[in-house]
Amino acid sequence: MTTKTVSSSNSPVIECRDQLTAFFARGEKPKAHWRIGTEHEKFVFRLSDHRAPSYDEPGGIRDLLNGLTEFGWQPVIEGDNVIALTGRDGSISLEPAGQFELSGAPLDNLHETCAETGRHLRQVKTVGDRLGLGFLGLGMWPDKARAELPIMPKGRYAIMLRHMPRVGNLGLDMMLRTCTIQTNLDYASEADMAQKFRVALALQPLGTALFANSPFTEGKPNGYLSYRSHIWSDTDPARTGMLPFVFEDGFGYERYADYALDVPMYFVYREGKYIDAAGLSFRDFLEGKLEVLPGERPTIEDWSDHLSTAFPEVRLKTFLEMRGADGGPWDRICALPALWVGLLYDQGALDAAWDLVKHWSMEDRHALRNAVPKLALDAPLPGGGRLRDIAGEVLDIATAGLSARARVDASGSNETGFLDPLREIVRTGKVPAEMLLEHYHGAWGGDVRGVYGELSY
């Protein structure tokens, strides 16, 4: 989630609707300037007892943040608290219950992405070892109830925690108990954005299936392979889902702006503080009729903040975010951007991927998305068969796309090797959650604590 570092008071006031769509156009870049941004979250736990540490306790989250400054990271302050860090590798931020996130820098190729990820994990392990902290790569806390988890001192989270129970049953679980891997990618034009959005949204269930890694809740199997994905189906229907309008003729910046305007607000940020606007209308804000700021109109930065509070499977800002994957171990962090870069950054691959999914109806897409959290690769495919039946073909398309990019490292290897963990999943037919369940019922003897040995960094 976004970390604020400055007030929006110096941002231009929105005078007309064209400024809303111009915001998206600002993200357009020629292909030579397309970059890859990778975000990954992980759970932090005490090595001694697997407890989730609080912010303030000795050796807790604040000490972890402060410890990372020895690697050149600069603190971001909210009130009296360090709530994030910035540096050459992007930013480090906190999710609501202390999930630790690296939002990586925009990079040219996957070799750089993997190097960035490796640096980050070495750094957090160095500091974590001193503090007695470990890090877990999973889509959901396997053994923690909500009441066991701390809350981080960030203003926007207090607003969201109050609002979530009003609009869904599982929003607090989303905030407190889940982790994800995301990839942020560029577009060249409005038409390019639209094609990428459609392909990414249609195939997001495959990404969810391949990365399904959240089969436990409070120490027991929960009946899902990606419970994290299921949680999003009962978080807040006004700001989640598959977005049918993306597949309609004429979809572009204006239609997405309409959607975003209809997403209820969470907050407005002024003078270093979050003002609760939960449930209010950004359309009213545009007219100077926002109850909590009467007479005041929004700025471009308010619009940017508001866009970050919509949570569809794919999200548009000045780039496209792929949001369907569970958190996981180190090698799968690099595999997620490899999948989407391979599919979306080469025109031949993008066209081939669209040909694979363009005949699906909106009902087909909804049905596939809704089946994947429980069934993963066994989800029924539109037209017959199962999702696993196209998984290998999609990976072949991504491989061709990465090969065409021809980004090589010092040894001459291209980017296709980063897909290997996904090829292994397709080869075995078992997604990560299914492997964990086998361990749970086998070697772990029904004790979910075995996951700390299996998936700790």
Give the least confident one: 26-30, 299-303, 328-332.
Answer: 328-332
As a whole number of Å, the CA-based R_g of the chain is: 21
Statement: residue 8 has pLDDT above 60: no
pLDDT reported for residue 203: 98
pLDDT at 9: 58
pLDDT at 7: 46
Taken in order 222, 227, 233, 238, the sign of the CA dihedral is: positive
Predicted confidence (pLDDT) per residue in 393-430, tens digit: 999 999 999 999 999 999 999 999 999 999 999 999 99
Q: Looking at per-residue confidence, does 7 or 137 come out higher?
A: 137
| Residue 201: predicted pLDDT | 98
Asked if the model's pLDDT at residue 1 lies above 50, the reply is no
Band (4; pLDDT cuts 50, 70, 90)? low
User: How far is the CA of 341 from the CAs of 100, 119, 131, 179, in angstroms?
Assistant: 24, 21, 37, 21
Instruction: State yes or no: pLDDT of 159 exceeds 50.
Output: yes
Q: Average pLDDT in the 286-311 region? A: 97
Please report, rounded to a whole number, the percentage of residues in the chain having pLDDT higher than 90.
97
With a cut of 60, say whether residue 5 has pLDDT above it: no
- For the residues 146-173, what does the mean pLDDT come to? 96
CATH number of the domain enclosing 122: 3.30.590.20
The pLDDT-based confidence of 92 (bands split at 50, 70, 90) is very high
Is 113 part of any domain? yes
Q: Which helix (H) or strand (E) holds 311?
A: strand 311-312
Overall size of the chain counted in residues:
457
Any domain includes 1: no
Average pLDDT, the chain: 96
Domain contains 153:
yes
DSSP class of 75: E
Q: pLDDT class for 2, splitting at 50, 70, 90?
A: very low
- Condensed to tens digits (0 to 9), the pLDDT of residues 176-193 reads 999 999 999 999 999 999
Q: E strands, 334-417, where?
A: none
Residue 353 lies in a domain: yes
By CB atoms closer than 10 A (0-12, 13-18, 19+), residue 137 is buried
CA dihedral of 46, 100, 164, 325, whole degrees rounded to 10: -110
Mean pLDDT of 361-376: 98
Q: What is the residue whose two structure tokens read 């990618």?
A: 185
Cα 181 to Cα 104, 116, 213, 323, distances in angstroms: 11, 14, 11, 7
Q: How many domains does the chain have?
A: 1
CA distances to 73, 74, 90, 139, 355 from 152, in Å:
20, 19, 21, 19, 45
In a domain, 58, yes or no: yes
Structural contact between residues 152 and 193, judged by C-beta atoms closer than 8 angstroms: no
Q: Is residue 3 part of a domain?
A: no
Per-residue pLDDT of 214-269, as tens digits, reads 999 999 999 999 999 999 999 999 999 999 999 999 999 999 999 999 999 999 99
Where in the sequence is the domain holding 278, given as residue range(s)? 8-455
Q: What is the pLDDT of residues 378-387, one digit of tens each?
A: 999 999 999 9
Distance, CA of 396 to CA of 265 (rounded, Å): 41
Please indicate, yes or no, if residue 70 is contained in any of the structural domains.
Answer: yes
Q: What is the pLDDT of residues 307-340, one digit of tens each?
A: 999 999 999 999 999 999 999 998 899 999 999 9
Q: Does residue 178 belong to any structural domain of this protein?
A: yes
